[in-house]
Structure 1
């Protein structure tokens, strides 16, 4: 089995067409990919399809993965997130189309909620951007790439306790930033 820490070797094996490398990648990361997909789609069947699509893409185009940019787990989770969001969007479109065909009125869009969600997302991005780099890196690895605190520690070359501290402190700072914005 390829070491989790050696994503470059995994990529080389996948690029060379070694089917064992795909099995290794699947064994290591399928649960994380599936977990993200099921949280977004809220549908186990769709999550299984998304997981399959992610690993088919890895098998067909392993050269798209750059080990210098992100851990393989994070890269796969990012693809899973995108695919699951696409699935949700298609599902919403299908549901709307089905309602139209059935002659039912479409629910009115809630513009206020959409604007509030968009504004909140911008505020969170700004709060993350304003963090000192050591907290921002830990937060990005954990929340944008889906790494555990242990994997964050390995990726940053720091002890696990330090990774936990940086994550906890970064989240607290984001929360404080968001509280002060809401108070205004």
Structure 2
């Protein structure tokens, strides 16, 4: 029997089934299962975000937001309606498209403000959306600020640099279990801070 790992993303059916099973366990609060979902899908998720946004920093932010949403709404995943990897990548793509639209709205609003003092209902909607987006970004920054420096560093390496737990452990000179604990603890604190 072949031994498999959760590192990297495989297009095979076995890998898809593992991600789906891990996602369902994560829906029950299993942090280790969520870490395995992340390890198996994060590189592809970052690739999707980067293709849409064409900006590394924004892609990193979108992937982080997407995985927070995956964690919070993992109970909504229904394997009868599609694959787990596809479900995750749809969330990432949707958040990336939302970010593009927000940037476009901001650019349009700046142009309108400089070109004319006339405002219409669409401008008011765009203003509301921009204020809401800024509020959300502020909430995320505040949530990240409550993490320990070690948790922040581990989450940054995992979510923003796309490194696996093993790569992070090698880079930081730590046991893999310590890295996983830092990431799980950080995600738990982020979830609590961002809870409605």
TM-score for both structures, normalised by structure 2: 0.49
Q: Distance in 2 between matches of 1:60 and 1:68?
A: 20
Are the counterparts in 2 of residues 7 and 67 from structure 1 also a CA contact under 8 Å? no
Distance across 2 between alignment mates of 1:10 and 1:89 = 32
The C-alpha deviation readout for 1:62-117, integer Å capped at 9, x for no partner, is: 1111112211111111111111111111100101112233348xxxxxxxxxxxxx
Tell me the CA shift for residue 8 of structure 1: 4.1
Q: Name structure 2 gaps, 5 residues minimum.
A: 7-13, 117-196
Q: Once the two structures are superposed, what CA deviation does each residue of 1:43-66 show, in whole Å capped at 9, x if it has no partner?
A: 111111111111111111111111
Equivalent of 2:47 in 10, 35, 48: 35
Aligned counterparts of 1:46 and 1:31: Cα–Cα separation in 2: 15
- Taking the TM superposition and a 5 Å limit, the aligned residue runs for 1:58-73 are 58-73=70-85
Return the alpha-carbon distance in structure 1 between the equivalents of residues 39 and 81 of structure 2: 22
| In structure 2, distance between residues paired with 1:29 and 1:8 | 11
Pair 1:81–1:103, CA change in 2 (3 A): same
Out of 79, 84, 101, the residue aligned to residue 113 of structure 2 is: 101
Counterpart of 1:74 (choices 77, 86, 90) is 86
TM-score normalised to structure 1 length = 0.52
Cα RMSD over matched residues? 1.9
Contact 2:26 2:74 in 1 (8 A): yes
* Residue of structure 2 equivalent to 1:10: 22
State the distance in 1 between where 2:42 and 2:19 align: 15
The 1:22/1:52 distance shift into structure 2, 3 A limit, reads same
Number of equivalent positions: 104
Distance 1:33 1:24, change over 3 A: same
**Structure 1 spans left out of the alignment, 5+ residues:** 105-184
Instruction: Compare CA radii of gyration and give the structure with the larger one.
Output: 1
**Which secondary structure does the structure 2 equivalent of 1:17 belong to?**
coil
Q: 1:85 to 1:8 in 2, by over 3 A?
A: closer
